[in-house]
Structure 1
Amino acid sequence: MRKVLIVCLGNYCRSPFAALALAKRGAGEVEVRSAGLIGKWEGEPANESMIVAAQRLGLDLTAHRAQQLTRVMLGWADSVLAMDASVLEVLREIADDDVQPKLGLYLDDRDVPDPMGQDQETFNACAVLIKAGTALHIGQTPK
């Protein structure tokens, strides 16, 4: 089973939802975890607006608790997917040589915009984009 780690800034909005959506789509094919570069929300549930956006798409994000990225997590993963280029840049700076080849963007060539501080519609659109992006990692066309 492939192991995928999804990373965003705080593990509060994008990466928790991406991990949930990818795990559901790839059930039996992938084990997915998520983490944030900073520990500001460590131990906290996901952002309420992202929980609502997830529910609109039939996914339950209420069990999530934020965690900060560790070297152990980087070593665990077969792939480490950053939600945007700024997160990927930090990952490239902190990753050991053996982790470097594992790094990439969740959407391959574009960022998943951070919805933090935006309205519910922005969170909803972000969740739709993230869910569609699961196809890039499971080898299916978006549904």
Structure 2
Amino acid sequence: MVVCLGNHCRSPLAAAILATRGGDAVVVRSAALHAGRLVDQPAHPLMIEAATALGYDLTDHRGVQLTAAMLHWADTILAMDQSILTRLREQAHPDDQLKLRLYLPDADVPDPWEKTAADFTACAQLIDQGADQHLA
């Protein structure tokens, strides 16, 4: 499970990359802490473009709100930044705490929301570079 704030930029791409690279060996989902108006909405157009440039297709993505059942379902829960990880630790059941970690081990994946196309591209590249550490 990959979690970001709105399930509109970072987590959809991370899920697509992990699912593609992991193949049939993994099932990856993404969700938002606070999807709000982004539930059932497509990924951000600039993230769709950045993903396409890297060879990933986000056109079928629709935003999803995180639930306790999703946290329990997941073997691993990857937060895109420290603030999300902190909020997940507050929300997660004690049995799910050990599953929580950052997507990048020592850094946040910066949120490109309301930034430039170059920021989306840089974010996408960072997500792409960090993916292999999560796959056996």
Per the normalisation by structure 2, the TM-score is 0.97
For this pair of structures, how many residues does the alignment match?
A: 135
The aligned residue for residue 23 of structure 2 is 27
Equivalents in 1 of 2:26, 2:130: separation in Å?
A: 15
Q: How does 1:30-41 map to 2 (within 5 A)?
A: 30-40=26-36, 41=38
Equivalents in 2 of 1:108, 1:6: separation in Å?
A: 14
Query: SS at 2:30's partner residue?
Result: strand
The aligned residue for residue 91 of structure 2 is 94
Q: Report Cα offsets for 1:37-87 as digits up to 9, x if no partner.
A: 012200000000000000101111000000110001001100000000000
Structure 2: which amino acid aligns with 1:25? Answer: R
- 1:138 is displaced (CA, Å) by 1.2
Q: Report Cα offsets for 1:96-131 as digits up to 9, x if no partner.
A: 110000000001121000000111011011101101
Match of 1:76 among 66, 73, 77: 73
Equivalents in 2 of 1:49, 1:130: separation in Å?
A: 15
Query: SS at 1:27's partner residue?
Result: helix
Structure 1, unaligned runs of 5 or more: none
Query: SS at 2:28's partner residue?
Result: strand
Query: SS at 1:35's partner residue?
Result: strand
The aligned residue for residue 3 of structure 2 is 7
The aligned residue for residue 45 of structure 1 is 42
Q: Report Cα offsets for 1:3-30 as digits up to 9, x if no partner.
A: xx00000000000000001111111221
Q: Which has the higher helix share?
A: 2
Q: Which has the higher strand share?
A: 1
Moved over 6 A (4+): none
The aligned residue for residue 54 of structure 2 is 57
Match of 2:132 among 103, 113, 135: 135
Query: SS at 2:2's partner residue?
Result: strand
Identity among equivalent positions (%) equals 54
Structure 2, unaligned runs of 5 or more: none
Per the normalisation by structure 1, the TM-score is 0.92
